[in-house]
Structures are given as structure tokens and as C-alpha cells.
A and B are shown apart, each in its own frame.
Chain A
Amino acid sequence: MIEIHELTKRYGGRVALDRASFRCEPGTVTGFLGPNGAGKSTLMRILVGLATATSGSATIGGRPYQDIANPGTRVGLLLDASAQHAGRTGREVLAMSALQLGLPRARVDEVLATVGLTAVESRQRIRGYSLGMRQRLGLAHALLGSPSVLILDEPANGLDPAGIRWMRDLLRRYAAEGGTVLISSHLLTEVEAVADCFVLIGDGRILAQGTKMDLLGNGRIGLEELYMRVTAESQRDHHQIGSVA
């Protein structure tokens, strides 16, 4: 379970996260949505200890990420598929992490098969990978330690339609087996298809959150409509505050 409680992050005078709170339950996929610069990536980085919060807390399974022993075996991460050494092969990246996590080498072949990278592709250097292949590698990397929590930042970017379909099935299956998934994306129709819960964020504040049923009124409105409505309201509020000040 992921729990974000009153999480605030300031960079100098700029507020990147403003008392954000939400939780992701086991067995669900949570779609984390919002415009660019709304604070999604900042929140995810704080959640996994790559950045520190100004105040508030972010825990996974009741603990701060830094306190989880061998966290790669509990939490699978894909924060940026292009953040890999271009001169290494895909297989080498996975083999290195398997070594660090203390996993048998056979696990590398297993996750490569799961994400559909062929043996030939896995031996090529990442420099030559398409964005879709990098995403698959990133997902393989996230799945390596058989974690019970997945945190994925824009994992569907660059995937072809078959890839998107495959990812949706994978995440659904993963949640059905009791896993917790937090996924950020701009592909709203895709998120609508895969997620059970949504968290909408704008200017560092949580604008709306809830189950698909609650937020979309059992299908009366679409996710895109909800998103546009909520983010537009937030912008209007913001401008009003600005003009008053």
C-alpha cells in the first residue's frame, strides 16, 4: 500500500506540492493524472527517496522507502525509460540490477520474456533502442525483483497499440494478483481502461480523487471530460487568487 500524507515540497519560494494526500490500495491500479509540471514526477521521486519532502510523509507498506531493505524486491520503479546508459546492452542493465538485488541470473531471461524483448534485442546497446523498446526494458527492470508495488511514470509513452494493449493486460493481471500499481500518464483513454482509482493533481494540489465509479458516475462522464473540468477549475481558482493578490 502506498500512503501519501500532507506531502509538501517547496523549491525556494515555488510550491511544487501542496499538502497532497492520497493512498493506493493493494489489488488496484491508481491512475495519477495532471498537466505537465503539476507535481506528478516530484511526488514520485519523493515517494522513492530520490528527493526529500519539505514536510509530510510518503510511505510504502507503512515505511519510508529509505527504510525498506533491498527495496528493489518490494517496489518496482520505472521513472524515466531514457535514463539508462546508452552504451550498455539491455541485458547487461538487467543483469547488473539482478546482481545488486541478489537474484539468480535466470530472472533476467524471465523478465525479458515477460516484456517481449527478444534475445537478439537484449544484446543490442540501448543507444539503438526505440522509445517503445526502452519502455519495455524499463518495465522489465521494474518487474525484476518480483515487487508487490509498481510505480510507473508515463510507461505507455512510445508504445505501439499492441504494446499498450499488452501493458494494460499486464497491469490488470498484476493488480488482480494483489499488487499495488501507481501509474502516471497523459494517455487518458488508456488510463481510463486500466485504472480502478484516479488521483488528479494540478499546481501541486490534489484536485480530485476516488474510485472510477465515484468520479465518473458509473460512466456518465468520461475521464477526459472530468480531467478538463477539474484542471480548468483549478486554473480559474488560481487566476482569481492571483488577481486578488
Chain B
Amino acid sequence: MSTIDTFISTSPSRRLFAVELRKLVNTRVGTWLVAGMVLVLCLMTVAMVTTGGAEHLSFQNMWGMLNLPMSFLLPILAILLITSEWSQRTALVTFALEPRRKRVLAAKMATSLALTLAVLLVTAALAAAGTLLALTLRTGTPGWRLDGAVARNLLMLQFARILEGFAFGLLIRNSAVAIVSFLALPTAWTLLGSLIPWAGDHLRPWIDFAHAENPFQNGEAPFESAGALTAADWAHLAVSLTIWVGVPLLIGARRLMRVEVK
């Protein structure tokens, strides 16, 4: 009885957040996606520990490597969190039960961020397990290494990625179009760069977020060291995120407040 009472007394925003979290996993697709994610991450950890070069088996490198596939999956989940309301037409119920649409949007945003946090924690746990295994099974592993800058870059990029997906989903509100344009956009900029070299040199660093994110996960052994970042790297990241996260979020949110839900 007491659990029911506490349930009822919790604030509407928290209940909405709980509902949005639940939407991630309560469909067949959602369940398999989460199960598949955990399975793939476990297999990756085992593969890294058993076949990876011993010098690469530091905590931070394994943590970073485990986050690479997630950096593609997280934005897609964020896109679907919004677009599925339209493709499955559940928006009708969602916005009827909570007509203050800002609250729904805030709950979805909170859900995306919570999901990112969960992924970062799960991958950290697996990386820790991997580090332990590597220390016992292999010789010459670097062990528990974690540079502050590497951790900062990893957190920053993962949160940026999910916000990119969220903004795309909010702006486009169509699953297929949003996902395809999200994945195809970086390729489009590469193409633009090769067709018009000037644009590739001067424009692309500012408008291509994938390109702007590169210096933050530097090259070959991405997470061995953070590498030196220039002021230009930060500026590129800030500008491209403003263009691809800030602007679509603003436009998409404004439209969501007014759009007729059918």
C-alpha cells in the first residue's frame, strides 16, 4: 500500500520520465536492442582481452573502444524516442495525457541523457572487468590508466552525439528520414569537400560535426592519450554543435509546441 501511495505522490514530471524510460525497452525491438547491445559489448570486451595488443589493454582504451559502437547507436535511439511517437501514432495518447508538451519534451531529453549515462556506466564496468582480466591473463598491460582529458572527451562526445540524434529526431519527426540524414550528413560534407576544395578546407571544419569531433578521439589508438587540442578544435566543435544541435533543437521544439497531433 505504501509503495502505491508514494507512487501517486511523486511529481508528474518524474512519472513522465519513468514512462519515457520504459518506452525504450517495452517493445520487442527495444528489448532486443538493449539485450543485443549488452551482448555485443561483452563479446567486444572478451575479444579485446584475448586478442588485443597487450599495450592497448588499458582501462581508458577499453572504455573508449566500447563506446565507439555506442556513439552510433545512442543517437539512433534518441531519434526513435521522438520519431516513433509519430510513426506509431502514440503521440495522440502521449500529448493527450500530458498536454503541456514542454514537459514531454523535457522528459524525453532527460531520458536520452540518462540512457547515455547508463551506457557510460555499463561500458566503464565492462572496461574495468576487462582491465582486471587483462592484468591476470596477459603480461605487459598498462592496467588502470585513465587520463582526465580522455575521460572528459569521451563523456563530452557521447553526450554531444545523443543530443545530435535528439535534435535530428525533433526537427524531422520521421524515423527513416531522420536516421538516414543523420548517418549520411558527414558523408555529404566529405563529398562537398572533394568537389569544392575551398569548402572542404574552410567550411567543413565548422559545419561537419563528425569532422569536428575527430580531434577529440585522436586517430589510430584513439583513447591512449588525449592529444593536444587547439583553440580552433574547440571552436569547430562549438560552432558545429550550435548548428546541428542548438538550431534544430530550437526550431524543432517550437514546432512541436504548435503542431497538430493526428
Contact = CB atoms under 8 A, between A and B. Distances in A.
B2 to A, nearest CB: 12
Contacts of A146: none
Interface stretch (A94-102, A110-118, A171-179): A94-102
B92 A70 contact: no
Contact of B99 (A49, A85, A103): A49
A237 interface: no
B69 interface: no
B99 A102 contact: no
A141 interface: yes
A60 B258 CA distance: 21
A141 B93 contact: yes
A104 B97 contact: no
Contacts of B262: 45, 50
Contacts of B258: 52
Interface stretch (A32-40, A71-79, A154-162, A183-191): A71-79
A2 to B, nearest CB: 15
Nearest to A48: B96
B89 A80 contact: yes
Contacts of B126: none
A87 B22 contact: no
A77 B96 CA distance: 8
Contacts of B90: 83-85
Contacts of B19: 96, 99-100
Most buried by A among B10, B29, B88, B93: B93
B28 A100 contact: no
B137 interface: no
Interface string B76-108: 000000001000111011011111100000000
Contact of A50 (B10, B15, B88, B260): B260
A23 to B, nearest CB: 21
Given A50-B260, A72-B97, A87-B28, A96 B88 contact: no
Given A50-B95, A87-B27, A100-B15, A66 B260 contact: no
Most buried by A among B18, B19, B23: B19
Nearest to B257: A52
B150 interface: no
A103 B10 CA distance: 11
A92 interface: yes
B92 A99 contact: no
Contact of B4 (A83, A93, A104, A141): A104
Contacts of A193: none
B245 interface: no
Given A45-B262, A85-B84, A99-B18, A50 B92 contact: yes
Contacts of B96: 48-50, 71-72, 77, 79
Interface string B233-262: 000000000000000000000000010111
A86 to B, nearest CB: 7
A90 to B, nearest CB: 12
Nearest to B89: A83
A15 to B, nearest CB: 16
B134 interface: no
Nearest to B1: A104
Given A71-B99, A102-B7, 11 more contacts: A50-B261, A50-B262, A52-B260, A77-B96, A83-B90, A84-B90, A87-B29, A96-B23, A97-B93, A97-B97, A102-B9
- List the 9 shortest-distance A-B pairs measured between CB atoms, nearest first: A87-B27, A83-B89, A49-B99, A51-B260, A50-B261, A85-B88, A102-B8, A83-B92, A66-B99
Interface of A: 45, 48-52, 65-66, 68, 70-72, 77, 79-80, 82-88, 92-93, 96-97, 99-105, 125, 141
